[in-house]
Each structure stands twice: as C-alpha cells, then as structure tokens.
Structure 1
Amino acid sequence: MNPLPPRGTPVFQPKLLTVLREGYGAGTLRADAVAGLTVAVVALPLAMALAVASGADPATGLATAIVAGFLISALGGSRFQIGGPTGAFIPIVYAIIATHGFDGLVLATAMAGVLLVLAGLLRVGALMKYMPQPLVTGFTAGIAVIIFASQLQELLGLPLRDVPAAFVPKLQVLAANLGGFNPWALGLALGCVAVILGLRRLSASTPGFLVAVVLASAAVALLGLPVDTIGTRFGGIPSALPRFHLPDASLPRLLELLPAAFTIAFLAGVESLLSAVVADGMTGAKHRSNTELIAQGAANVGSALFGGLPATGAIARTATNIRAGGRTPVAGMLHAAFLLGFVLVAAPLASYVPLPALAGVLVVVAWNMSEHGAFRHILRSAPRADRLVLLLTFGLTVFVDLTLAIEVGMVVAAFAFMHRMAGLFEVSSGVKLFEAGDEDEAGADSGQRAALPEGVEVFRFSGPLFFGAANRLDNLMDRFPTPPRVFILRMGQVPFVDASGVHALHALAERCRRQGIVLVVSGLQPQPTEVLDRMHLPHAGLVHRVPDFPAALALARTLAAPPGMG
C-alpha cells in the first residue's frame, strides 16, 4: 500500500502534467490515439447498455463516458485510467432513480463528486485501499448477480415496465409473467454472447462488444425481428451532448439525498482506486491515490451538470487501454473525443440497436465481474473468518443492500482481524534466551530460570499489545503464590502498543506498587517507547526501563537483594 504523502507534498498532481513535463512527442501521440480509438469502440455499446440497465436512457450513458471519461483522464493520478459508467453502479442508480427520480440521481451524483474531492484533499486515498479481499470479491460477485438479474427481462423479451429493483421481488414478478416470453429476444442475446466469446478466443484485440451489437442490429433491421430496440423504447439518441444544467439543490433535497451520495462516493472511490492498482500491476507504474479521488470527484460533478450518471475508473476499459498501447492520460482524453465524434456522426444508427443485444453484452460483463475463480479459491482455501466475510458480503449485496453489505463486511473483517492479532500476543513465563523452535529450549529455559536471583520473576510478551489483547495482563500477578520483590517484563518482541495496552501496563504497575513489587521493563522497541512516553507510564522507582534482558537481570539483583546486602 502507498504510504501517506509527506507533509508539504501537493495533494493534487495530475499525471497529465507529469507527462507534459517529461515531453510529449508524435510517437506517443500515435500510440495514445490508437489506444483511445480502441477503447472508444469498446465503450460505445457498453455505455448505452449500462445506462439502459440502470433505468436511464442510452444517451445518459454516452454523456457520462464522454464528460466524465475526459475529466478522469485529464485530472487523474493514473497514466492509464479510463473512466465512465460501470456495472457496479447499476443497482445503485436503478434504486435511486426509482426512489428519487432522475433529477434526484443527478443531484446525488454531484454531491458524491464533492465528497470525493474532499476525500482527496483530506488525503484519505491511501486509507480507502485497505479493503479486505474477501469483502471486495463478495461485493463484486454480488453485483454481478444483480446485473444478470437486471437483464432477465430483456433476455426473455418480457413486455414489462416498472420491474421492482429488489432481487427477490424482481424474480417473483418475472416468474409471474413468463407467459410473455419472446424466443427471438433470447436467441438474439445468446447469439451476441456467442459472438463476443468467440471473437475473444480468436483475437483479444477484436472489439467483440461492438461487432456483436452491429451484427444484431443488422439482423433486426433486415429480418424484421420482433424485439425492442433503442428507437422503439427511447426514440433514439440525440446527436449532441445534453445541455449544461444546474440541479435543484434545496437544503431538504440535499439532506434527503445525502445517504445516496455517500453510497455513490464510496463505491466510486473504491472502484477507481482498485482499477488504478490493477493498472499499476500491469505496467509497473505508480498512481497518485489522492489526485485520483479529486479527479473522480470533478468527473462526477461534471457528469451531473450534463445530466449524466455516476462514473468511476473502469477496470476492463483501463486494461484494454494498456493492451492497446496507451502510454499517457491523453489516450483516455482521446477515447472521450472519439465517443463524442461517434455521437455527432452516427447517433441515428443507434435507433436500430436491439435491447436484447445490449442485455447479451451485460451478461458477459456480469460474468467477467463475478470473479468466480477468486470466489471458489477463498471458499476452498481461506481461513474460516475470510469465508464468513465473503459469504456475508455476497448475501447482503444480493438480497439486502449494497451499502449495508460493505458496512457489515468491514465490521466483521475488522473483528476477525482483531481476534487474529489478539491471538498473536503471548505471555510466557521464564527467561527463554533462545528463539522458539530450538530443540533444547525447554531444558535451557528451566536451567536459566533456576539461576534467577531469589525474589525475581520474569515474563516475556510477544506480539502487539492492543485493546484486543490487553485483558491478558489482568490476572498476571495471580500466577505467583508468593509475590516477588522484582518483576521483569521482557517486551523486546512487542512491536506495537496502543492506549488500551498502556492502560493495562498502568494497571499492572499500580498493582505492583500496592504489593511492594518493583517493575522492570526491558527491550522496548521504538513505537512502544514513544507511546509510553507520550502517555506517561510512571518511572521513579515504580517502573524501571532498561535496554535489554541482561541489564534487567543486573538491576533485579540489586533491587531484590535483602536490606543491608547488595
């Protein structure tokens, strides 16, 4: 994980500026133009399909890909990130439109953009990457199931409107209306899936999504197949961007939409940073997480002002950009420019695109998102707590609520982590100067223990001393039938202490004081030393600190000596 930037480092440093300072030549421009055109060809059908699946019209998806895609690349902290609408937002956008209307979605998207800008300015980009992998996998797989379920109506050609957004009620409504099944719609969708997967096998560089949609559109136009198209459902798409429009932002409306805005901001932030990490892994580059969040925020505000959808970094399109030879953020900016050119020139042709074909595209998207291999691997091989987080997040995502799934998954993962860390903290009796695993450890320990000065006891702590393990010190003094005169705590293997750990040490020191026992602490590492100093663990005869165990033994011999001796 990237550390937080040092003080004085600018928060907002777009990679585009870095590229321009390095020098931008004709060869790089050619490579970026080819990659931008390739990504635009892939993004064109996807943007329309994602918008339709979200309950919006296809033009909003294209507007999002153009406006937000340009801003994410121009202002972002990654050289390769491609932004636009993504499948993860389908259930969120659908639910917001159903509850608050499309105007509510636009305002919530703008609010989410402001929240993302604030998150970047507050330098929380690095913190948003600390997401447990089982949670991410369960959440992504759950969204994939929701996307597939959202396309069942178009796959089956059912003539329905206002299908419920919730998973179970949706399936119930669809099952009750199976009498309207249209075999032409299913055949067309399955044909698109076959074309996409077949072309992917033959050549990874072929734009399978676009080829499948073009072939399906031609089949519907030439054969007169009885299926819905963008023209019959939406009346086509305009050959221009929507007009700039400021949403109604009254205070009651802002408060009403704040939870939705937080959901959009959180998902956009997490998905964009995950996409940037994937791009780093493919290229060896290093993104700037806080700059990326600021760019995502600006892009969502821009998208909202043009009536678009929420946007974020798109992993599949970013990977396509890299494989197509994109070198700089200019490739993403050109991808947006090419999409705008397609809209201005070829908008009338979009009326012929059949909706079952777009459903077939999204079936492939859902399968790619499902991470079925990672899902099975975690279920087979991961610790029990990780499997619980995976299944819990997946189930809540599909059957309850995406935001609740993230919240509960994070809480359960955090408790599981604390339990594991608490298990690493050990309190062992004896002097044990040998590393664990030495064959003669037991005998050596007993011999060394017998050599301890009379009235001296030793305990060794190992592992992080934090709130999950601090209670292990509560009954430490009860282990002695006769209280010692000196009690040595060996803390050389304690890398971390928190406030609860310091409180437990305070309580132990106070109990030693009441029983007339001198407490000696040896081998403190830098972090525990700093925390104990700041929180004023008592000194002056009550607690002695020494650098190592031999020094602790030497001091203990002096302190434990009977009066008049030593």
Structure 2
Amino acid sequence: MIAGIRGLLPGPTDYAGLRRSWRGDLLAGVSVGVVALPLALGFGVTSGAGAEAGLITAIVAGLVAAVFGGSGIQVSGPTGAMVVVLAPILAKEGAGALALVTVMAGVIVIAAGALRLGRLVGLIPWPVIEGFTLGIALIILLQQVPAAVGSTEGAHGAKAWAAAFAAVTHADWSAAWRTLALVASVVVIMAVWPRVSRVVPGTIVAIVVATGAVVVLGWEVPVIGELPAGLPAPALPETSLGALEALAMPALAIAALAAIESLLSARVAHARAVVSGYDADRELVGQGLASIASGLVGGMPATGAIARTAVNVRSGARTRLAAVTHALVLLGVVVVASAAVARVPLAALAGVLMVTAVTMVRPAVVRSVMRASRQDAVLFVVTALVTVSVDLIYAIAIGVAGAALFALRAVARAAGVHREELPGDAAHGDERIALLRLDGALFFGAADRVLERVARVHGVEVVILRMSQVRMLDTTGAQVLGEVVASLERRGVTVLVKGVQPRHLPLLEHTGALDALADTDHLVDDLDAAVAKARAVVSAG
C-alpha cells in the first residue's frame, strides 16, 4: 500500500541523467515557453476566462504537473480541447464558477489516478481519437471567428458554430477589415517564417509584427488588456452545496477530458521520444494537482498539451527540467513584460489559434482512417460530427460505444458451427451421428445464432458437440447451450459434449447447462472416446 502511494509521488529518479542533459533541457524549456505564450493567452481568451487565466494556468499548472506528473517530457497547460468543454460551462454558470469547477475536476482526476485507472485510456480506438482531434480542431477554428471579425457577439456561446454565425451576421464590416488583415498577416507569417529561420518561432514573430502594426497605424481594435505583474495569492473558491451540485457534472466532464487528453498526449510523446516510458496513474495525480493549484490562483483546468509537448521532444528535452523551465519563462514574461503583452490584438491571437487548429489535422492520417475500413470511417466521421454539434465527452462515449458494437459484431461473425467427418475408418450407422465443431465465442452476441444452427440438425440419433475451440463462453452462451441440449434430448437425440475447457466447466455447472445430458458420462474429454460412445448408442438403438 505504502509502496503504491510512493510510486505516485516525485523521487530522485525523476531527474536521472540531468547532469548530462541539463543544457539541452534548459534550451528546450525556453523554446516551449516562447511557443506556449501566445497559445496560453489565446486559449484563455477563447474560453471566456480571460488571457490572465490562460497565462496563470500555463505557469502554475505547467510547473506542478512537471514536478508531480508521470511523464518526464510532458508539457501541461491550457489546451484547445479544454477550451471546448470549459467555454459553455462558463457561459452558463458564469466566470465565478471557474475556480470551484477547476478544483473539483482536479480532485476527481487525482482520485482516478489513486484508483489506478490510467490504463483505461488504451481502450479508446484510434479512429475515435482522430475524429475527436478533427472535431476539436474545427471548434477551435470556429471559436476564433468572432475575434477575426472584431465582434464579441456570441464569442463564448455554447456552440462554436452558432457563435461564429452570430459574430459574422452582427459584425461591423466597415471596421472588420482591420482585424481580418491582422489575422491574414499572422497566418502568412507563420506559414512563411520557417523558411526564413527555425530559431525564433513564427508565432512570436507574427504576434510582434501584428502588435507593432496596430501601434504604428493607430488602429482601434480589441486587445488583451491589462495583465497582472505577478501571480495572484492563492485563495479557496467560494463553495456551497448548491454550487457543488450544479457543477458536479461539468467537473466530471472536465476531469474526463483532462485525464484522456493528458494520457493520450503522454502516450504519443513517449512513442516519439528517446526517453523511457511514463506512469499513467502518476500522470493523473500530477494533472489533478496541477488543476487544483491552478484553480486556487485563478487559473483554468490543465491537461497535457500535445503541441507543446511535441516541441519539447523536438527541442531535445530529456528530463522534467525542460517543462519546469517553460513555466519559469512564462513567469518571467508576466513579471517583466505584462504591459507589452497587454497590447497584443485579439485578432492576432485568433490567427495563431487558427493555424494551430489547421496543423492539428494531418491529411495523411485522415486518409488512412477513411481507407482502413468502413467501420473505422464511420467511427471517425461520427465522432467528429458529435464533437462539433453536441459535446466532446458525448463524442468520445459514442465513439467508444460504436467501436465496441463493431468489435462484438466481428467476434460474433467469427463464431460458427462446422459439421465434420468422424475420424478413422467409417462404420455402419455413422450417417446417424453428427459431429459439430463450435468455433470462436459463445457469448450473448452470438449464442442464439450459433446454437440455433445446432438445434436445426435433423436425421441423426447422436450429436457430438466439440467445444475445444470455444475461446470465450459467457453466462448467456452457457444458458442457451443448456436449452439446446435439452431440446435435442427431448427429440430423442443423444448429445455428447466433448472437450470443454477447464476454465469453462464451472460456468456450465453453475448455470445447469449440463444437467440436460442423459448421462453424466456424456461429458467426455477425448474425441475417439466420444465417437466410440456415439457408435455404441446408435448400435444399441
């Protein structure tokens, strides 16, 4: 018990190899911090919590998750997926609910880690993950439309497509060309800059150019606004029984997303990195602590961020020092340059997030999913559509449920009944013996169909059921097997059951499936013995 708890906490091994990698870790952390700055600001604005909340989350949650999480290379903070879930919650419950729902979600994620639920993320199929990613990318893209046209109409509505439509229909087009020009300039710079230099991120160059243009030209466009020159003091959120009840389901949705996104991000990152694997359960504990810490200082729920983590890996990070450095770089920005950041146009952030949304979707992956199989294509499209039109958590649930149904269908189709020739030389009366081999799974999805074919056997006096190839047997399959045996015996057909696997025998006994056999010795282990017994029954008849 104590060893299990210790495994969820930081230890000296977290920084193994730091003496060799500290320079590379510091450089990687600086690179990620520069990339994370506009994303943190943009996701904070888009969620409705404000740029300050996004920046606080990247600093505080990023630092806590780096120290306590189960991955040495994961970078955490505000993400587009979390914005998708959080924005409608804040639109409905108000900004005052941010701290409480963030802390509640953090507690739930910690509980999931303590209960060792981290490996469950592996149950989410690949087409569902990719559909989920496409849906999030579309929502992030639509969420930027209000800022792109200089409108605040419906900017934080429950549905991104509705907010985008409202913003476009209520936009002042005589002024919107300015914000659209800023968005276009940001997109162009981010697309072209990598050909010029890969040392300085294109996002920072685009933000600086757009901000400078607004200052020089004197354009009146919405900007981030005043930011604090430091971190707020921790404070417990206001709590009441009514607030806890109202936020219970939203907190559960946020916690589910935080767990899923963080573990998916860690899994993808470690598949591409040269460092050792991650502890899924400890990662949940770390992300839960990160959200709690973030909520106490006015931040948002945190998750592992795949884009920033990918930058961290590409920059050569080897230990947690890189993610810690990323958080300290952002803290330095708050302390030193908050006045300059306050003048960044919201349209410039919208442009950055639009490019981010587009890069989230990889055309080659989409083609692969769509060509894999009809079932995979359906799961992919349905998950994406439900994500955009209904809800992200519902999308995952529906996608997983659909995948389960397709899998059960495939397993059921693999089950079958095959009539075989009796082994050895033919004997008189063999035509009145049916040797039937049951294959695959005898479970609720296939039991009726498989065993109905057994029950339709006619013109024989003995049926031998070969069950050695039955790989799975559940209660429904055992019960239906008993009914079929009883039905054949009532018709005067003697049933012999051969080769029941030892692990299936207790279930058959407990359900009474073998009680219908005419004699206890009609349950046999050897095929030759079963055939000899069947021939004896035919001869006696």
TM-score (norm 2): 0.91
Q: Distance in 1 between matches of 2:58 and 2:261?
A: 16
Q: Distance in 2 between matches of 1:154 and 1:8?
A: 51
Is it true that 1:499 corresponds to 2:475 in the alignment? yes
1:446-472 deviation per Cα after TM superposition (whole angstroms, max 9, x unaligned): x98889846432111222222111112
Match for residue 313 of structure 1 among 275, 287, 304: 304
Q: Distance in 1 between matches of 2:438 and 2:537?
A: 28
Once the two structures are TM-superposed, the CA of residue 523 in structure 1 deviates from its matched residue by 4.3
- Classify 1:337/1:450 alpha carbon distance in 2 versus 1 (closer, same or farther; 3 Å): farther
SS of the aligned residue for 2:307 comes to helix
- Classify 1:33/1:560 alpha carbon distance in 2 versus 1 (closer, same or farther; 3 Å): same
1:147-175 deviation per Cα after TM superposition (whole angstroms, max 9, x unaligned): 11111111122364666332443243223
Name whichever of 39-48 and 23-32 sits farther off: 23-32
Name whichever of 64-73 and 128-137 sits farther off: 128-137
Does the Cα contact within 8 Å between 1:502 and 1:532 map onto a contact in 2? Answer: yes
Matching residue's letter, 1:426: G
SS of the aligned residue for 1:427 comes to strand
Matching residue's letter, 1:469: A
Q: How does 1:37-436 map to 2 (within 5 A)?
A: 37-158=30-151, 160=153, 164-180=157-173, 181-231=175-225, 236-283=226-273, 285-379=276-370, 381-431=371-421
Match for residue 484 of structure 1 among 458, 461, 464: 461
- Classify 1:159/1:488 alpha carbon distance in 2 versus 1 (closer, same or farther; 3 Å): closer
Q: Distance in 1 between matches of 2:538 and 2:87?
A: 81
SS of the aligned residue for 1:464 comes to strand
Q: Distance in 2 between matches of 1:194 and 1:416?
A: 43
Is it true that 1:561 corresponds to 2:529 in the alignment? no
Once the two structures are TM-superposed, the CA of residue 208 in structure 1 deviates from its matched residue by 1.8
1:258-280 deviation per Cα after TM superposition (whole angstroms, max 9, x unaligned): 11111111111111111011112
SS of the aligned residue for 1:460 comes to strand
Match for residue 448 of structure 2 among 471, 477, 480: 471
Once the two structures are TM-superposed, the CA of residue 255 in structure 1 deviates from its matched residue by 1.3
Name whichever of 532-541 and 129-138 sits farther off: 532-541
1:343-396 deviation per Cα after TM superposition (whole angstroms, max 9, x unaligned): 1122121122111110111001111223443234323x1322222222222222
Q: Distance in 2 between matches of 1:368 and 1:74?
A: 29
Does the Cα contact within 8 Å between 1:489 and 1:519 map onto a contact in 2? Answer: yes
SS of the aligned residue for 1:467 comes to coil
Name whichever of 410-419 and 268-277 sits farther off: 410-419
Does the Cα contact within 8 Å between 2:416 and 2:450 map onto a contact in 1? Answer: no
**Other-structure match for 2:439:** 462
Once the two structures are TM-superposed, the CA of residue 257 in structure 1 deviates from its matched residue by 0.9
1:113-147 deviation per Cα after TM superposition (whole angstroms, max 9, x unaligned): 11111111222211122112222222221121111
Does the Cα contact within 8 Å between 1:495 and 1:527 map onto a contact in 2? Answer: no
1:288-345 deviation per Cα after TM superposition (whole angstroms, max 9, x unaligned): 1111112111111111111111110001111111111111122212221222122112
**Other-structure match for 1:442:** none
Matching residue's letter, 1:249: T
**Other-structure match for 1:439:** none
Does the Cα contact within 8 Å between 1:53 and 1:90 map onto a contact in 2? Answer: yes
Does the Cα contact within 8 Å between 1:431 and 1:459 map onto a contact in 2? Answer: no
1:16-40 deviation per Cα after TM superposition (whole angstroms, max 9, x unaligned): 52635x7444332222211111111
Does the Cα contact within 8 Å between 2:128 and 2:399 map onto a contact in 1? Answer: yes
Aligned residues: 537
Q: Distance in 2 between matches of 1:302 and 1:193?
A: 34
Does the Cα contact within 8 Å between 1:453 and 1:557 map onto a contact in 2? Answer: no
Q: Distance in 2 between matches of 1:205 and 1:431?
A: 73
Once the two structures are TM-superposed, the CA of residue 281 in structure 1 deviates from its matched residue by 0.9
Name whichever of 221-230 and 201-210 sits farther off: 201-210
Name whichever of 413-422 and 355-364 sits farther off: 413-422
Does the Cα contact within 8 Å between 1:151 and 1:359 map onto a contact in 2? Answer: yes
Calculate percent identity across the aligned residue pairs: 37
1:165-198 deviation per Cα after TM superposition (whole angstroms, max 9, x unaligned): 3244324322322443422211111111122222
Does the Cα contact within 8 Å between 1:11 and 1:123 map onto a contact in 2? Answer: no
Q: Distance in 1 between matches of 2:172 and 2:344?
A: 25
TM-score (norm 1): 0.87
Q: Distance in 2 between matches of 1:363 and 1:543?
A: 73
- Classify 1:291/1:521 alpha carbon distance in 2 versus 1 (closer, same or farther; 3 Å): farther
**Other-structure match for 1:511:** 487
- Classify 1:558/1:83 alpha carbon distance in 2 versus 1 (closer, same or farther; 3 Å): same
Does the Cα contact within 8 Å between 1:163 and 1:173 map onto a contact in 2? Answer: no
Once the two structures are TM-superposed, the CA of residue 219 in structure 1 deviates from its matched residue by 2.2
Q: How does 1:538-549 map to 2 (within 5 A)?
A: 538=514, 541-542=519-520, 544-547=522-525
Does the Cα contact within 8 Å between 1:15 and 1:79 map onto a contact in 2? Answer: no
Q: Distance in 1 between matches of 2:127 and 2:273?
A: 25
- Classify 1:121/1:554 alpha carbon distance in 2 versus 1 (closer, same or farther; 3 Å): same
- Classify 1:74/1:217 alpha carbon distance in 2 versus 1 (closer, same or farther; 3 Å): same
Q: Distance in 2 between matches of 1:527 and 1:367?
A: 51
Is it true that 1:17 corresponds to 2:8 in the alignment? no
Q: CA RMSD in A?
A: 2.9
Q: Distance in 2 between matches of 1:503 and 1:106?
A: 53
Matching residue's letter, 2:453: L
